[in-house]
Amino acid sequence: MQEGPPVGSPTIGSNDPSTIETPAWQPPKSRVDRAAEQAALAYVRRGDHAEALNILMDTYGDPVMAFAIRTVRNRELAKDIRQQVFLEAFQGFDGFAARSTLWSWLCGIAYHRCLDELRRLRRASAADDLAALDDLAVAPDLTMEVDRATKRRALEQCLGTLSVPTRTQLLMRCLLGLSHTEIGEIVGAPHSTVQVRISRALPRLRQCLRGEGLAR
């Protein structure tokens, strides 16, 4: 089964989340940094877990933060989740079996910590935060054009109309660059189920964006 949604799917930009276009589909580029992972694993084997963690945080901290923001839709909670992810990684280095990349392993931790936070929010009956979100993990640009902020807010609102499983899996595919197989291993579902769920979600997202005047 072919990886990736159909031609004309909306783009969820990894570098500029306010950019919303409808180009011909290109599979998302893998975020795996082989050199960084090899260096981190070398430090783990030497017992220097702190340096291994520093490498992973420098390499993967921003995309983990971006995924958490778009999943829980609250920047402060996302910061806490990012900290939890790397703390759990630090504590689990010795148990890492290298059956996957470190990146995929971190994505799995991030996914489960986000779900934990969403369950906690539901129990507390917390209201959704639909405010405009900062780009990735960097400080907001005070000179940002109103048009860009409007696009970003509309994208976040449209993502918020999707169910949690659909939203998280769509983000893992389009934002984190994981394959359907990798996502299936993380969420415990066949890769074909993941692919169908994402392919069905993309037209809904595109329709919502059209309603906001942001996609053709």
Check whether 91 has a pLDDT greater than 70.
yes
Tens digits of residue pLDDT in 172-187: 998 899 999 999 999 9
Prediction pTM value: 0.71
- How confident is the prediction for the chain on average, in pLDDT? 79
Task: Indicate whether 200 pLDDT > 50.
Answer: yes
pLDDT tops 80 at residue 138: no
> In the predicted model, is pLDDT for residue 29 greater than 50?
yes
Name the CATH architecture for the domain at 34-211: Orthogonal Bundle (1.10)
Map out the domains of the chain as residue ranges: 34-211
Instruction: Look at residue 104 and tell me whether its pLDDT is greater than 90.
Output: yes
When pLDDT is cut at 50, 70 and 90, the band that residue 131 belongs to is very low
> What is the C-alpha to C-alpha distance for residues 38 and 41, in angstroms, rounded to an integer?
5
